[in-house]
Structure 1
Amino acid sequence: MKLRTTANTRQQACFAMREFTRGEEYVTIGEFPSSKTNHMKKVSVLPLVFLIFYEVSGGPFGVEDTVHAAGPLLSLLGFLLFPLIWSVPEALITAEMGTMFPENSGYVVWVSSALGPYWGFQQGWMKWLSGVIDNALYPVLFLDYLKSAVPAVGGGLPRVLATWGLTIILTYLNYRGLIIVGWVAVALGIFSLLPFVVMGFMSIPDIEPSRWLGANLHDVDWNLYLNTLFWNLNYWDSISTLVGEVENPKKTLPKALFYAVILVVLGYFFPLLIGTGAVPVKRELWTDGYFSEIALIIGGVWLRWWLQAAAAMSNMGMFVAEMSSDSFQLLGMAERGMLPEFFKIRSRHGTPLIGILFSASGVLLLSWLSFQEIVAAENFLYCLGMILEFNAFILLRIRYPNAPRPYKIPGGTVGAVLMCIPPTILIGVVLYFSTLKVLVISLIAVAIGLVMQPCLKYAEKKRWMKFSQNSELTDINDEGSQLVT
């Protein structure tokens, strides 16, 4: 395919990201025509805020290990400072790049634009696998909260069956449509945060601020502490793989990310403030599900049941949001010719049918890992993907400063580089504290991706599988217009 030009292309290129032909049809970047999706309702601001909330957080369920690892003071400081170092830069990059490339392949397109399609595929593989590993956590967390009320799901065959049953039910919800998932996320988010509001008011007479100062730097499990913080405050870029389904993404995405950052930080900090201030801190008790015990102490059995139900609903919300992101990413990669064309198949509800099935299968295969191992493995892969992402963001700023950016982070290229330095250092720290087991598993996963891409290209060359031919990105010219083959 060729880039269509006129006598005024230099001026037009400053305002058009890319244009390519598809028969008699012209398509701007990120707008792949589809008879099933053009007339479908798009996701608006409020559902998008809660989809981001569930991509990243889902509430304070799962943050208990920070207190176990480092005590109350470092936990509270971590959830105040870590967002400034990591969450805000990642959210800003997502806003700029997501509006620059408003299509479902998300960060895959960013890396492909800067580093080429081979590394774009590696980005997609690592981020998809990291997302699937992340999704394997949520049935685990759900059952951890439930086991105090239903001890049978604490282990053995009942736990395995419960995990598989949850996965199947929630996968079906994803199949029914992204609009449904978005509004379900709104309802689940409100329901999941309400018991902490009630618990906060009830705990006021018991709050002792001196408990917040507990810290012992000689007794900190840095690996658990950093991995838990990192897991609870990343994945801001995951929403980029859904941008093609968003209503007016150039305005909606930055606004939704701004509100979501505030919601996520408050949703972590205040429950920790309540839990560590109202109840004597015994670090050994602060593990997955401990907030339900705090609810029992503060409010009684009824509050405990409510919080357990909220935890269950929260994990459902995180599961469906993450699976939506993972499955639409596969669809976007297929639209760009990186995956076989059958990944473009949509259900009658407009959802990526094959992508959902692949993502659900990955969750079931990984459900045997422990909570800590899952967190560490997904963090490792996510860190490697973020290194590519930061490089792509900076390279595109340097090479193509005039490319249209509906939302642009202020500060110029120098500001962009400086903004990426602290999170890059943090990535190095997280990788340094990884265990040998996690390192080996993650590097094997990376090696699979390095081999998979040329194998898929070979299969395409031999015509063993059909690939889309309309959209593999190759370059951006000096005026900011993008060329495709």
Structure 2
Amino acid sequence: MPGPDRTAWLRRKPVTAMAAETGADAGREGGDLKRSMGLGQLAAIGIGSTVGTGIFFVLSEATPEAGPAVVLSFVIAAITAGLTALCYAELASAVPVSGSSYSYAYATLGEAAAMAVAACLILEYLVSSAAVAVGWSEYLNALLEATIGIRFPDALSGAPGAGGVFNLPAVILVVLCTLLLIRGVSESARVNAVMVIIKLGVLLLFVGIAFTAFNVDNFAEFTPLGFGGVGAAAGTVFFSFIGLDAVSTAGEEVRDPRRTLPRALMLALVTVTAIYLLVAVSAVGAQPWNEFEGQEAGLAAIMGEVTGSAWPGIVVAAGAVISIFSVTLVTMYAQSRILFSMSRDGMLPPLLSRVNPRTLTPVPTTVIVGVAVAILAGLIPLDVLADLVSVGTLVAFSVVSIGVMVLRRTAPDLPRGFRVPGYPVTPILSIAACVYLISGLQWITLIVFVLWLGVALVFWAFYGARHSRLRASAQETSEEESS
């Protein structure tokens, strides 16, 4: 079977075509998504998918890599996320559709690049949903043990390689999120907004109590593992900033997207960064850095040590259970919308862009995402999942920054609700920061990522390139011109 023709690699989807597809008169068999979210709900999606992942359990992974300088690792990751968020804000205001950086790459770099970015996003959201579900399992056990004295058996609380056989609590969480997403985006957004308020309250409670036990001596040897450790930890904690990307996946379900998307991105970034730094500083100040390694339900354990009583740890564990539920909900939502966009473009089977006429949600896609996440969450350990999420996120973020520069040249007059300040320095710095963080990840992670990317491009060559709606449209135009 011959491969795709040479022009297929570079064919780009016009922004005007993307905008037309989001209208009520698009006339597609699958149907359209419903514009029902405002600024508050959209910002809550960004905060909800971000605050919780890093703070509630990745801190225990990153602090042993950097020591007290893990605070600096969060600053580096936040700067990288901030530079990228500015680029996202411009593209989201110019191309306000579902699909996030996949759609942006399709409009700016071409079909093959879009498929590669889609592979990054699938890795990012599929694996991150599983990773946070695994973390939820740890906190649920901590909460059950502290309140009613029972917990799930070890064999049913961890994946093979992590002391267990199957992570049942993680799978239960995924099933609950899948059912809620099937009901509708408005219901999911309202539930998420409530969870965001609860989690911010719990984290601020942690900060207040942890600062009462703050010991400046815990920062005396600030970089015990050198700046190489700071960079490695920054790559690990960057996993915590994927919520910014989740905001842009909701482009077709937001009212007034050209104004709302950029504002929601900036609001989410500022809130997330402030919370992360407060919790990181107070946690390291309350507990020596070398005690973080291997610590399950870390923030709850710190609260117990600081206060000498059980109730603060119970509150934090309960907050984490609620918080990580919202993270899983949003990352699964984002994954389903990316697959929806790809299917609508012909890059995946048409079943994945079918919308339920009653709930106006892509039910088949949501169910498939739920099954895939449940398998990963039940069988793969947390440390393996976290680094894979980081590399997928960073590559996708780099493409967004490149896309800003390409679209400025190819469509300078395209309406934009937001423009990147300091252009072109800002997107260049964003790319450089992403490359720096990628360089700090383990080589085995990069090898797995390259293999995954190769599989995705092979799939595109044998399916996506042949079923692409752009290809079909080009053929129709050619036939009309020749007749």
**Which consecutive residues of structure 1, in runs of 5 or more, have no partner in the other structure?**
1-15, 21-26, 461-466, 475-485
Which residue pairs with 1:253 in the alignment?
261
Superposed CA RMSD:
2.9
Task: Give the superposition deviation at 1:100.
Answer: 0.7
Task: Give the superposition deviation at 1:77.
Answer: 2.2
| Superposed CA offset, 1:417-450 (max 9, x none) | x213333233333333333432332222111111
| Superposed CA offset, 1:107-160 (max 9, x none) | 222111222122212212221222101111112101122334547546323542
Task: Give the superposition deviation at 1:203.
Answer: 4.3
Task: Give the superposition deviation at 1:452.
Answer: 0.6
Distance 1:80 1:153, change over 3 A: same
2:411 maps to 1:400:
yes
Distance 1:425 1:17, change over 3 A: closer
Q: 2:460 aligns with which of 453, 473, 484?
A: 453
Which residue pairs with 2:343 in the alignment?
334
Which residue pairs with 2:115 in the alignment?
121
Q: Counterparts of 1:219-234 in structure 2 under 5 Å?
A: 221=229, 225-234=233-242
2:312 maps to 1:312:
no
Normalization by structure 2: what TM-score?
Answer: 0.83
Alpha-carbon distance in 2 for matches of 1:199, 1:175: 34
Task: Give the superposition deviation at 1:29.
Answer: 6.2
2:31 maps to 1:31:
no
2:37 maps to 1:43:
yes
Alpha-carbon distance in 1 for matches of 2:249, 2:275: 24
Task: Give the superposition deviation at 1:229.
Answer: 2.1
2:306 maps to 1:298:
yes
| Superposed CA offset, 1:338-395 (max 9, x none) | 2222211123311111221222222123232222211111222233333333322211
Distance 1:29 1:322, change over 3 A: same
Are the aligned partners of 2:105 and 2:114 in contact in 1 as well (CA < 8 Å)? Answer: yes
Distance 1:164 1:17, change over 3 A: closer
**Which consecutive residues of structure 2, in runs of 5 or more, have no partner in the other structure?**
1-13, 159-165, 476-483
Task: Give the superposition deviation at 1:54.
Answer: 2.3
Which residue pairs with 1:482 in the alignment?
none
Which residue pairs with 1:383 in the alignment?
394
Q: Counterparts of 1:46-125 in structure 2 under 5 Å?
A: 46-58=40-52, 60-62=55-57, 63-72=59-68, 74-84=69-79, 86-125=80-119
The more displaced of 241-250 and 375-384 is 375-384
2:384 maps to 1:373:
yes
Which residue pairs with 1:194 in the alignment?
201
Distance 1:286 1:273, change over 3 A: farther
Distance 1:421 1:186, change over 3 A: same
Normalization by structure 1: what TM-score?
Answer: 0.82
Distance 1:444 1:225, change over 3 A: same
Alpha-carbon distance in 2 for matches of 1:195, 1:260: 18
Alpha-carbon distance in 2 for matches of 1:164, 1:185: 19
Which residue pairs with 1:23 in the alignment?
none
Are the aligned partners of 1:117 and 1:473 in contact in 2 as well (CA < 8 Å)? Answer: no
Alpha-carbon distance in 1 for matches of 2:33, 2:433: 43
The more displaced of 318-327 and 349-358 is 349-358
Which residue pairs with 2:371 in the alignment?
361
| Superposed CA offset, 1:301-348 (max 9, x none) | 111111101111111101110111110111122222322222111233
Alpha-carbon distance in 2 for matches of 1:89, 1:236: 11
**Aligned to 2:415, what secondary structure does the other structure show?**
coil
Task: Give the superposition deviation at 1:472.
Answer: 7.3
Q: Which amino acid aligns with 1:237?
A: D
Q: Which amino acid aligns with 2:63?
A: V
Q: Counterparts of 1:156-171 in structure 2 under 5 Å?
A: 156-159=155-158, 160=166, 161-171=168-178
| Superposed CA offset, 1:33-54 (max 9, x none) | 4789779451111111110112
Task: Give the superposition deviation at 1:164.
Answer: 1.9
| Superposed CA offset, 1:14-45 (max 9, x none) | xx96269xxxxxx7364364789779451111
Distance 1:31 1:440, change over 3 A: same
| Superposed CA offset, 1:68-113 (max 9, x none) | 22122x12222234312x1111111111111111111232221112
Are the aligned partners of 1:130 and 1:382 in contact in 2 as well (CA < 8 Å)? Answer: yes
Are the aligned partners of 1:47 and 1:182 in contact in 2 as well (CA < 8 Å)? Answer: yes
Q: 1:264 aligns with which of 272, 282, 285?
A: 272
Distance 1:18 1:277, change over 3 A: same
